[in-house]
Chain A
Amino acid sequence: MTSTAVTEQNKMDLAREMLAKLVDRRVLAALEVCVRCGICTESCHYYRSNPKLEHTPYYRAEQVRRVYRQFLDPVGRAFPGWFGAKATADEALSKLAETAFASCTLCHRCTFECPFGVETAEIMRVMRSVATATGYGPEMLIEIAGAAIAKEENADLFREIFLEQVKELEKEVQDSLGSSKAKIPVDQKGARFLYVPLAGAHTIIPQAIIFNVAKESWTLSMFDTANYAVFLGDAEKAKRIAMRIIKEAEALKAQEMIITECGHGYTAMRWEAPKWFGRPLPFRVRNIIEVLDEYIRDGKLQLNPSTNGEPVTYHDSCNLGRKGGLLEEPRRVIKAVVGDFREMTPNRLHSYCCGAGSGLVTAPEWTDIRLEAGKLKSDQIRQTGAKIVVTSCDNCRFQIGELSEHYGLNTEVTSISELTAKALV
């Protein structure tokens, strides 16, 4: 056997091993239940934007299913031709990786359109893990996840820079509120909230303004909420990235961790992290939108919706909405802070993905794919006649900004926090 053949064999063994480990009851059921009826075909934004075989949810899942039949199903292995089991080779694995990473945003929309409820996204998530473990994970995602881990390893070095940056941002908050008492607290032990932003002032300044107005007891996290290892399906790295913030919250004895407007960051910490660590987290996890909703309900913010007078539409981030359960909270906040709110159709559970979810936004080589897949979203936005698209996820925000340019939508994209801060009286 040549050394290439040996490597290939090792990869196949590893792929089989990973698949055997990761196909849990939920994924097994998703693999087994599909009857290849084709009813889900149009539910995928990829297919709607470019109708072809490879863009149907069941084609994607079927590619993994055939490998599963070969690796894990004794009946499939005994009669491969009859049951569609397929021995996989290196080349096939790389193709499957491409499908899992670039041709499915794990948006879960097709699940709710399938008469059975097949979770194609879960199948593709497992495929991503297998691909990453066998060396087919996308470079860019690996680098970003690695950088997040390096930040913790070199925390002291980053702390200096971070504190300086916070000082600058604090000045902006003070200018905006006309008060030198406004603060961006850092390392505040016993604060009610640990607020976890993203890399970008737009996820710190508006929220700091709001927290100051609401007289909140809070402290800013040194880390950001993005966890790109989740997109890679790399459980170990995802745990390490999440653990940085968990440790920080525990050290500060925060009662709550408030995640900024980041779809996957919220879902990972709110819903997945307790599963990863096998225990509930010792603090409550909420999204900033839930906090804004609470402030508005409790009358903590004086708002003037006419400040945001232009027509506004809301894009449901798949992670925050369909997978995270935040469907009504954003709408309540938006209605309180804008004068003219228009829904896209369909929305909420049936909302279309923007085309850039689950890490697609990161790799330049996927730009054309995601812009094409986002066509449906751009059509939806255009139909509302909105001038402002508000979304609660930075990935979606970036994509919709690009869609606006690409499809000539002439719309501005912003977040709920920014609109809320703008509407403050």
Chain B
Amino acid sequence: MSTFDMVAVGVVLAGAFVFIAGLIAILVTAQRRPYGTELAPIKGSPSRGVLWAFTLGLAPWAKESARIHWLAYIRGAIFHIAIFVGAAYLIATPWLAQIPEPLRLVLAVLFGIGALLGLAGFWIRLADPIMRFLSTPDDYFALALTTLFLASAAISAYTIEYLPAFWIISGITLAYAPFGKLRHFIYFFYVRVFLGLTFGRRSVLE
């Protein structure tokens, strides 16, 4: 292992540590907040509501907004899928050499598309005057980090020698995630569960 490799491993492990510590802090903070437990008698089904929230409730064809912003919606969906697969890929990288080459190529294509869609995100954000007005430096930085993460994932899946570079970028991304906009991925699950529980209970989603 070269010095650079060792530094890369150090960075990714440190990033993972900050990420896990940050994640725990976020979860503890969120759990400490009160939650107004529903006490009214049930009309619908909270569990079916939660199921809806993670399935049909996300379906683009059920949303007028997705029809209007179909490009942004598809971009967002693929971009996020690529990031989630990228996270799983990061965990699997110590065994990258054992991953069959065709699969690595498929992953490289997915991450490459994800990275291109990340770049498209800049264009969307800058082209729309309202989005430009409401965007913060954090929005751009988070987008840049995730785009780099996907680009380096694509390169490392294609050429294994670039794995240390991917680890370094992953480490930085992981370390930043709990502090800025990237932490929205944790709250996504909260929001969907609350939505399903509240409106499922009221039989709004049937």
List A residues at the B interface (Cβ < 8 Å).
Answer: 23-26, 28-30, 32-43, 53, 56, 58-59, 62, 75, 81-84, 111-119, 270-275, 278-281, 284-285, 321-325, 327, 346, 349-350
Given contacts A117-B57, A280-B40, A280-B41, contact A36 B194 (CB under 8 A): no
How many Å lie between the Cα of A112 and that of B64 in the bound state? 9
Q: B58 interface residue, CB < 8 Å from A?
A: yes
What string of 1s and 0s marks CB contacts (under 8 Å) between B152-196 and chain A? 000000000000000000000000000111011001101110110
Which stretch from B1-9, B11-19, B102-110, B129-137 is at the chain A interface?
Answer: B129-137
Interface check B55, CB cutoff 8 A: no
Contact of A325 among B34, B43, B58, B68 (CB under 8 A): B43
Known: A36-B134, A115-B76, A325-B43. A83 touches B180 (CB 8 A): yes
Instruction: Tell which of B135, B137, B184, B202 touches A323, judged by Cβ atoms closer than 8 Å.
Output: B202
Q: Which residues of chain B are near A42, meaning CB under 8 Å?
A: 64-65, 68
Tell me the nearest residue of chain A to B190, going by C-beta.
Answer: A29
Complex Cα spacing A278 to B43, Å: 19
A346 CA to B179 CA in the complex, in Å?
39
Closest to A327 in B: B204
Known contacts A324-B202, A327-B204; is-contact A29 B136 (Cβ 8 Å): no
Q: How far is the CA of A259 from the CA of B103 in the complex (A)?
A: 61
Residue on A nearest B77 in the bound complex, by CB: A115
B101 lies within 8 A of chain A by Cβ: no
In this complex, the interface size class of chain B, counting residues with CB under 8 Å from chain A, is 35 or more
Task: Name the A residues within 8 Å of B138 (CB-CB).
Answer: 82-84
Bound complex: CA A350 to CA B61 (Å): 13
Chain B residues closer than 8 Å to A114, beta-carbon distance: 65
The answer to whether A325 and B134 touch (CB under 8 A), given A39-B69, A117-B195, is no
Please report whether the interface of chain B is mostly helix, strand, loop or mixed according to DSSP: helix
Determine the distance from Cα of A67 to Cα of B38 in the docked complex, in whole angstroms.
Answer: 28
Q: Are the C-beta atoms of A35 and B181 separated by less than 8 Å?
A: yes
Residues in A whose Cβ lies below 8 Å from that of B30 = 25, 28-29
Residues of A within 8 A of B180 (CB): 75, 82-83
CA of A296 to CA of B17, assembled, Å: 63
Cβ-defined contact, A33 with B191, below 8 A: yes
Residues of B within 8 A of A325 (CB): 43-44, 199, 202-204
User: What are 22 A-B pairs at a CB distance below 8 A?
Assistant: A24-B36, A26-B190, A33-B188, A35-B139, A35-B181, A37-B72, A39-B65, A41-B65, A41-B69, A42-B65, A53-B133, A115-B65, A115-B77, A119-B194, A271-B38, A271-B40, A271-B202, A274-B39, A275-B40, A279-B39, A346-B64, A350-B64
Q: Which 5 A-B pairs have the closest CB atoms?
A: A84-B136, A274-B39, A325-B202, A29-B190, A113-B65
Minimum CB–CB distance from A225 to chain B (whole Å) comes to: 16
Complex formed: what's the CA distance from A118 to B191 in Å? 7
**19 extra interface residue pairs, beta carbon distance < 8 Å, beyond A36-B135, A75-B180:** A26-B190, A28-B190, A30-B191, A32-B184, A33-B188, A37-B131, A39-B69, A39-B72, A41-B69, A75-B179, A81-B137, A115-B63, A115-B66, A117-B53, A273-B40, A274-B39, A275-B39, A323-B202, A323-B204
CB distance from B24 to the nearest CB of A (A): 15
Given contacts A58-B134, A278-B39, A324-B202, whether A116 and B191 have CB atoms under 8 Å apart is: yes
CA A208 to CA B98, docked complex, whole Å: 78
**Do B188 and A116 touch (CB < 8 A)?**
yes
A285 neighbours in B (Cβ, 8 Å): 40
| CB pair B204 A26 closer than 8 Å | no
Q: Which of B34, B72, B130 has the most CB of A within 10 A?
A: B130
Interface assignment of B73: CB less than 8 Å from any CB of chain A: yes
B135 / chain A contacts, CB cutoff of 8 Å: 36
List of A residues within 8 angstroms of B194 by Cβ? 25-26, 29, 119
Q: How far is the CB of B30 from chain A (nearest CB, A)?
A: 6
Looking at the complex, which one of B69, B72, B131, B184 makes contact with A116 (CB distance below 8 Å)?
B184
Among residues of B, the one whose C-beta sits closest to the C-beta of A34 is B184
CB proximity of B40 to chain A, nearest CB, Å? 5
* Cα-based distance from A59 to B203 in the complex (angstroms): 30
> Is B150 part of the contact surface with A, judged by Cβ < 8 Å?
no
Task: Please determine whether B202 and A113 come into contact, CB atoms closer than 8 angstroms.
Answer: no
Q: Say yes or no: B181 contacts A39, CB within 8 Å.
A: no
Check B72 against A25 for contact (C-beta < 8 Å): no
- Interfacial chain A residues near B35, Cβ < 8 Å: 24-26
* Assembly CA distance A314 to B128 (angstroms): 36
B130: contacting residue among A33, A41, A321, CB under 8 A: A41
Q: Is the CB of A284 within 8 A of B136?
A: no
Q: How far is the CA of A34 from the CA of B184 in the complex (A)?
A: 7
Contact check, A349 vs B204: say whether CB atoms are below 8 A apart: yes
Report the bound CA distance from A271 to B41 in whole Å.
Answer: 8
Closest CB of chain A to B141's CB: distance in Å? 8
CA distance A329 to B154 in the complex (A): 53
**A118, B180: Cα distance in complex, Å:** 17
